[in-house]
Amino acid sequence: MKALGILSLIIIFSFPVNAKIADISWTDFIEHTELIAVVSIQEMKRIDETNGVTKVKVLNIISGSDNNKTIDIDWSIGRISQPLFDIYHNYIVFLKKKGNGKYESSIIGRSFWKLEKDYSTQEYFVDLDTDIYMRHLKNMPEYIYDVREIAPKNQYSEPYNGRKVYLNKLTEYFE
C-alpha cells in the first residue's frame, strides 16, 4: 500500500510544468534596458549545451551609449529564450550590461527583434506578434506601431490584430 502511494506521487509530480510567460509593460521593459541598438551578427560561438555568445556590429544606437563598434551578447537557450543567430537579418536589441563587460538580453524572450524590410515603402519594421512571447509586451506607445489583421494559420484559428513596429518611429520615440 505504501509503495502504491509513493508510485502515485511520482506519477502525479512527474508531468512537466509549463509556466505561462507573464505580461510586462513597456515601461518596465525599458527600465530594465541600458542599450537599444540596431546590430548585425558578425560571429556566433556556442560555449556549452545551452549557452553562447554572439559578436555583433553596432549599426545604430537608438538609446543608451556604447562607443564600441562591436559588442558581445551572452545568451542562453531556454523555453522562451533563443540565441541571437540569424546572420541574414539585422536586429534591434534591448540589452543590459553584465559585470564581465558583455551584454545580455534585458528581458528574457523579448529582447531580440528581427528587422524586416517593406520593399514597397523601403521602411524597416519588426512584426512583434509573429512571436507569441511578444504578445505579452503591453502598453506600448501607440506612436511606434501600426495594427493590422493577421490571417489565421489554419482553419481552426481566428484572425488577430498584430503590431508592426517601425524602426524610424522607434528611433524618433527615444530622441
Identify the pLDDT of residue 129. 72
In a domain, 4, yes or no: no
In a domain, 6, yes or no: no
Among residues 27, 21, 28, 111, the alpha carbon closest in space to that of 73 is found at 111
Determine whether 173 is exposed, middle or buried from the number of CB atoms within 10 Å of its CB (0-12, 13-18, 19+): middle
Provide the residue-wise pLDDT of the chain in tens; the chain has 175 residues: 555 555 454 444 444 444 556 778 899 989 999 999 999 999 998 888 888 899 999 999 999 999 999 999 988 877 556 667 788 899 999 999 988 888 988 887 788 888 988 888 898 988 887 766 566 678 889 889 888 777 777 788 888 777 889 999 999 999 9
Identify the pLDDT of residue 17. 46
Identify the pLDDT of residue 132. 62
Q: Under a CB-based contact definition with an 8 Å cutoff, are residues 81 and 75 in contact?
A: yes
In a domain, 7, yes or no: no
In a domain, 155, yes or no: yes
**CATH at 50:** 2.40.50.120
In a domain, 132, yes or no: yes
Identify the pLDDT of residue 77. 79
Distances (CA, A) of 53 to 124, 143, 144: 26, 33, 30
In a domain, 18, yes or no: no
What are the grid coordinates assigned to 75, written together?
Answer: 545568451
Identify the pLDDT of residue 85. 79
In a domain, 139, yes or no: yes
Identify the pLDDT of residue 155. 82
The total number of structural domains in the chain stands at 1
In a domain, 5, yes or no: no
Which range of residues forms the domain containing residue 71? 24-174
